[in-house]
Chain A
């Protein structure tokens, strides 16, 4: 299906890969459907299907924060119908300011990759805050200077 986005124009997405947030995302209770858009590894966009403006910059938190851990409550596992721990995919939302990029380690996004149900959860863990400054990004892809055409 075709989806309108303000940042990337109209794009074609696989309907089978739509991620459903049954409760929405706090701040956007009415938007339940999202899709993932690969950007520049390891960065992805978590984009709303039904609002061309709403998109979160997300990434796997563990590559940058190896000590990070997420304790998923039984209630959340039941709610997302997570049966195998390996079905769980975790993302952190990034916030880009002028001089610093921060990761919201306090409230990760949990996706069940077997049924594409997801939720943003709030961790009780006091070690993590809403805005943890990002260390340098690992350059998994080609070196940055090769980007110049």
Chain B
């Protein structure tokens, strides 16, 4: 991992297309401005991890539970 130091207002460039600007540095936080191509979504990692986990759960729903919720009786 590359570790480097930047001051407020300075920028990091990654490749030709990604720029990360240090907008503000506060007590225990840093505010970033990020420019990236539109096919590169930017997420806060903890939110993205949560979303992936929830999607994994949501994609494998048991159809019987849904039927139960909808009040659909088995047609057998």
Could you tell me which A residues sit within 8 Å of B by CB distance? 7, 22-23, 25-28, 39-40, 43, 48, 53-57, 75-76, 78-79, 93-98, 101, 104, 106-107, 119-122, 130-131, 137, 144, 147-149
Contact = CB atoms under 8 A, between A and B. Distances in A.
Interface in B34-73: 38-39, 41, 43, 47-48, 50-63, 65-66, 69-73
A26 B53 CA distance: 9
A25 B72 CA distance: 29
B75 interface: yes
Contacts, number: 88
A147 B70 CA distance: 11
Given A79-B39, A122-B47, A131-B54, 19 more contacts: A26-B48, A26-B52, A27-B52, A27-B56, A43-B70, A53-B59, A54-B59, A56-B58, A75-B38, A78-B38, A93-B55, A94-B58, A98-B65, A107-B51, A122-B51, A137-B70, A144-B70, A147-B71, A149-B73
